[in-house]
Amino acid sequence: MRVILVHGFNASPQMNFHPRLADQLRAKGFEVIAPTLPLQAGEEFDLHKAIEKMKEQVGYLKGDDILLGHSLGSLIILQYLEAIEMTETPRAVILVAPPWSVSRPELRQLFIADLDADVLMWKAREFIVIHSKDDKLVPIAHGRRLAEALRARFIETATDGHYMEADYSVLLETILSIAQTPHAFEPGKDLENDFVGLH
C-alpha cells in the first residue's frame, strides 16, 4: 500500500511532520512517496508544472493508494485528481489544514471554486479533512467548508495549529485506521428502496 505525502506552500518533504510520518509509515510496511513540488515563495507558481512534477514522481494512482496533503498540498492533490487519467480509484484522500481559498493572486489557480466538487468526490473512495480548532493560518471554517463540499469525514483537533511541528499522532492513526478497515462499496447503498413493501 502506498502513502503519498504532499507538502504545502514554501515547504518540502523534509519539513514539518513529513519526515517523521514517512519514517513511521515505512516502519509499518507502507511504501511512501513524498514528491518535491515547485511551491516555493519567490517562484512564479505554475499549476501545470506542479501537476507534471506529481506525474513524474507519483505516476498513475492505484486502488490502495492513500494520499495526504498538507495545507496547499491538499489543493494540489485535488487538482491532480481532476487532471490525470485514472484507471483505479484511490483508497482515500486526507486533507490536513486545507484552505478553501487563498489570498495570494498567483495561487488562485488552486481555488476549490474552480474545481468540480461533485465530480471530485468520486475520485477517491473516501475523503477525510483534518483541521485544528486553533489554526491561525487557515481558520477551521475553511476545512469545514471543504469537507462539506466533498462530503468528507471531518476530524477536528484542539491544539495542533497548522500542523507545522514534527509529530502528530492523529495523522498516523488516521492512515492506519483506513488501511485496516476493509472498504465495502455497494453502488446505491445510500438510496432509499422504493420497492419495499411491494408484492
User: Where do the structural domains in the chain lie, given as residue ranges?
Assistant: 2-180
Contact of 70 with 39, CB cutoff 8 Å:
no
Helix (H) or strand (E) holding 108, with range, is none
Residue 67 DSSP symbol: E
Phi then psi dihedrals of residue 22, to 5 deg: -60, -45
Q: Tally helices (H) and strands (E) across the chain.
A: 6, 6
Distances (CA, A) of 60 to 13, 67, 95, 99, 135: 20, 12, 20, 26, 33
Contact of 155 with 170, CB cutoff 8 Å:
yes
Residue 16 DSSP symbol: T
Please give the pLDDT value at position 106.
59
DSSP notation for 113-168: GGS-HHHHTTSSS-EEEEEETT-SSS-HHHHHHHHHHHT-EEEEESS-TTS-SS--
Please give the pLDDT value at position 45.
77
Nearest to 18 by CA among 37, 46, 45, 1: 37
Please give the pLDDT value at position 127.
96
Contact of 121 with 151, CB cutoff 8 Å:
yes
Please give the pLDDT value at position 143.
96
The CATH class given to the 2-180 domain equals alpha beta
126, amino acid identity: E
| pTM for the predicted model, two decimal places | 0.86
Phi then psi dihedrals of residue 120, to 5 deg: -60, -40
Please give the pLDDT value at position 100.
86
Q: How far apart are the first and last CA of the chain?
A: 46
Contact of 103 with 126, CB cutoff 8 Å:
no
Please give the pLDDT value at position 44.
75
In this prediction, the residues of the chain whose per-residue pLDDT falls under 70 are 102-115, 183-199
